[in-house]
Amino acid sequence: MSSRERPAAVLFDMDGTLVDTEDLWWDACVEVADGLGSPLGEADREALFGLSVEDAALHITAALDTTGGPGAPAVETMLTDAFTRRLENGVTTLPGAVALLEALRAAGIPAGLVSASPRPVVDLVLETVGGHRFRLSVAAGDSARNKPAPDPYLAAAARLGVDPAACVAVEDSPTGVASARSAGCAVIVVGSSGAVSGVTAVPTLESVDLPLLRRLVSRAPM
């Protein structure tokens, strides 16, 4: 592929996209909420899917009688600690993740990691996936606003020196899709949240290859 026929970069979400951490995240949320005396239900699981730690903390504290109780910043710290403890036991890369990253590297296409998770969480996961496979990583706090705002994807594109419209973002949640689309990226959504209007849906990363990435960016104005 010539430089005009391929993405300027491919920007990956992390949790649930590259690594199987969604159940670990839910377990961390349940632990914190139970400890605060406000158990979560299945409706909360759906609401918490794809949220940043900051927004998850707000969700949990909204259900609390906060008189004398912890505020959202304290709950955010509790969530980060609970999630990190679980990640320290190791995480599983999702099917097709490593092969796709290696294909991008062989083709000379930069890969970036754009996560709503805090930096300690991102760095732990990079130890499993391989930090050398990414040109950069953006974590919570590395941009002015987190997902679903466009800031994380705009920050990644700016640091790479590329136009967001020439990038493909790979996401798994409506929150992440909203962030990437508002930044101007072409978007692939992976997995069970695939029914998102206006984006390309695939069952797993095994279905993502260089021709698909080329087709997505070739649709954008040059």
Residues carrying an active site annotation: 13, 15
- CA dist 33 and 78 (Å) reads 10
Q: How far apart are the two ends of the chain, measured CA to CA in Å?
A: 16
Query: 111: helix, coil or strand?
Result: strand
- Report helix angle 72-87 to 22-35, nearest 10: 130
The answer to whether 156 and 136 are in contact (CB under 8 A) is yes
Buried/exposed code over 1-19 (b: 16+ C-beta within 10 A; e: otherwise): eeeeebbbbbbbbbbbbbb
- CA dist 89 and 85 (Å) reads 7
Phi and psi dihedrals of 112, rounded to 5?
-125, 150
Strands 111-118 and 200-202: unpaired
Phi and psi dihedrals of 187, rounded to 5?
-130, 135
